[in-house]
C-alpha cells in the first residue's frame, strides 16, 4: 500500500472545463479569469481579486502594488516556504525574520514587536499549514505602530480566526493554487484586496503596466493567469468547502486517536483550521519516519531548513530558537480530502506504535 501525502483531485468537471476553453480558441486570459476573480473575491469576502500565474507572483505583485521597495523592511516568518521572504527581497526590500509561536507555528505580536524599526513598512504573517495567524492582535499592533499588514495566505484557503477570513484582512493577501494546495489551477495565484489603489496598481503590474494597450503607466511584467487555469480554479473553488470539511474530519480523527506524545496540533478557540498540512512533532522523528516508510505511508518535512539560514540570508541571520527547533522536529502526515478510513486508521496505528516503548 502506498499512501501519498498529497495529490491534486482532478475530475471530469475540470477536464470538461479545460476542453471548453481549449475549444473556444480563447486560451489566454479572458472571461474565465474575470469570473474566477469575482468568485474568489466573494469567497474570501474581499472587494477585489487579481488572478496571477503563481502564489509567488501574487506576493511580488501585491507587495509592489503596496509600494514595498528598497529601504523598506517587512517582518516575515522564517518558518515557511522561502517564497515569503524571497518576494520581499526580490523587490529590493529587507525581510526581517520573526520567530514563531511553538504551538501554532505562526508569528505573533510578541515575536514581531522587538523587530519593528524606523524602516519597517509592514508585517506579513503566513497562515502556515492552514492555521490562521492571530489577525486581531496583529491588526492592533500594525495600527498602533502605523504599519501595513499583508497576508501570505498561500496555505489558508477558507481559514478564519474569530470570523475574520484569512485573505480579507491585510492590505493585500496572496494565495497559491499550486497542485499540493487545498485547491489548484496547475500553477496559479490570487491577490485579494479591498484597497482600490492596490487593486488598480496590481492589475497594472500584472500586465506590463498597461490598462490601455501599449500605454505603460508603471513598470510591470507578465504575471497573468490563463483561462485554462481559471476554468480549473472555478470548478475547484466550488468543491473547496466539501474538501475542507473532509480535511477537518481527518484531522479530528487524528486529534482523537493519536498518542499525545506525537504532539498533534493545538487549535485555539475561534480558529477554523483548514489543515493544508497536519503537522506533528514526534519525540524521535527518524524513528517515526522509518515506521512510516516501512508501511508505505507518505510524509513531508515542511520545512527542514528555515529561510533565515538559507544562503541568500545566512550572513545576517538572527537566532530564532523556536524556528530552528521546529525545523528539526516537525513531520506532516496525509490529511488530504480523499484519504480513506482504513488509510487513516493505519496511519494512526503506525504512528502510535512508533512512540510506544
Ligand X SMILES: Cc1ncc(COP(=O)(O)O)c(C=O)c1O
Binding interface with ligand X (CB under 6 A): 54-56, 80-81, 83-84, 126, 152, 154-155, 176, 178, 189
Q: Which grid coordinates belong to 317?
A: 541571520
Q: What minimum distance in Å lies between the beta carbon of 113 and ligand X?
A: 22
Q: Which grid coordinates belong to 184?
A: 489548484
If one counts every other C-beta atom within 10 angstroms of the C-beta of residue 190, the result is 32
Q: Which is nearer to ligand X, 84 or 288 (CB)?
A: 84
Distance CA 155, CA 254 (A): 20
C-alpha torsion 281→287→288→292, nearest 10: 150
Q: Which is nearer to ligand X, 56 or 78 (CB)?
A: 56
Q: What minimum distance in Å lies between the beta carbon of 59 and ligand X?
A: 6
Q: What minimum distance in Å lies between the beta carbon of 316 and ligand X?
A: 22
Q: Which is nearer to ligand X, 55 or 334 (CB)?
A: 55
Q: What minimum distance in Å lies between the beta carbon of 71 and ligand X?
A: 24
Q: What minimum distance in Å lies between the beta carbon of 348 and ligand X?
A: 26
Distance CA 87, CA 91 (A): 7
Q: For strands 48-52 and 73-77, give the pairing.
A: unpaired
Q: What minimum distance in Å lies between the beta carbon of 216 and ligand X?
A: 25
Q: Which is nearer to ligand X, 138 or 262 (CB)?
A: 138
Q: Which is nearer to ligand X, 91 or 348 (CB)?
A: 91
Residue 274 contacts residue 284 (beta carbons within 8 Å): no
DSSP for 136-169, written as a single string? HHHHHHHHHHT-EEEEE-TT-TT-EETTEETTSS
- Dihedral sign for Cα atoms in the order 53, 177, 40, 170: negative
The three-class DSSP label of residue 51 is: strand
Amino acid at each position: 500500500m502506498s499512501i501519498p501525502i498529497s495529490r491534486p483531485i482532478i475530475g471530469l468537471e475540470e477536464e470538461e472545463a479545460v476542453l471548453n476553453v481549449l475549444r473556444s480558441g480563447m486560451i489566454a486570459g479572458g472571461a474565465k479569469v474575470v469570473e474566477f476573480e469575482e468568485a474568489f473575491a466573494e469567497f474570501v469576502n474581499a472587494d477585489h481579486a487579481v488572478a496571477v500565474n503563481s502564489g509567488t507572483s501574487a506576493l511580488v505583485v501585491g507587495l509592489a502594488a503596496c509600494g514595498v521597495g528598497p529601504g523598506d523592511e517587512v517582518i516575515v516568518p522564517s518558518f515557511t516556504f522561502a517564497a515569503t521572504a524571497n518576494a520581499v527581497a526580490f523587490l529590493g526590500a529587507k525581510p526581517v525574520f520573526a520567530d514563531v509561536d511553538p504551538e501554532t507555528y505562526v508569528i505573533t505580536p510578541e515575536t514581531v514587536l522587538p523587530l519593528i524599526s524606523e524602516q519597517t513598512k509592514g508585517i506579513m504573517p503566513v497562515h502556515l499549514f492552514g492555521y490562521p495567524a492571530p489577525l486581531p492582535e496583529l491588526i492592533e499592533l500594525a495600527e498602533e505602530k502605523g504599519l501595513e499588514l499583508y497576508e501570505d495566505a498561500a496555505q489558508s484557503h477558507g481559514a478564519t480566526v474569530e470570523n475574520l477570513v484569512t485573505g480579507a484582512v491585510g492590505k493585500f493577501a496572496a494565495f497559491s493554487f499550486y497542485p499540493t494546495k487545498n485547491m489548484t489551477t496547475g500553477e496559479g495565484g490570487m491577490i485579494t484586496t479591498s484597497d482600490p489603489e492596490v487593486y488598480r496598481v496590481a492589475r497594472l503590474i500584472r500586465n506590463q503596466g498597461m490598462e490601455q494597450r501599449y500605454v505603460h503607466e508603471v513598470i510591470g511584467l507578465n504575471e497573468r493567469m490563463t483561462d485554462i487555469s481559471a476554468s480549473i480554479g472555478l470548478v475547484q473553488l466550488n468543491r473547496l468547502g466539501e474538501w475542507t470539511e473532509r480535511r477537518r474530519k481527518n484531522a479530528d480523527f487524528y486529534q482523537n486517536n493519536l498518542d499525545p506524545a506525537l504532539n498533534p496540533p493545538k487549535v485555539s478557540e475561534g480558529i477554523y483550521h483548514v489543515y493544508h498540512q497536519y503537522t506533528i512533532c514526534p519525540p524521535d522523528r527518524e524513528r517515526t519516519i522509518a515506521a512510516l516508510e516501512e508501511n508505505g505511508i507518505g510524509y513531508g518535512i515542511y520545512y527542514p531548513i528555515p529561510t533565515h539560514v538559507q544562503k541568500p540570508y545566512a550572513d545576517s541571520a538572527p537566532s530564532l530558537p523556536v524556528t530552528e527547533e521546529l525545523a528539526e522536529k516537525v513531520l506532516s502526515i496525509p490529511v488530504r480530502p480523499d484519504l480513506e478510513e482504513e488509510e487513516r486508521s493505519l496511519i494512526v496505528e503506525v504512528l502510535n506504535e512508533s512512540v510506544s516503548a
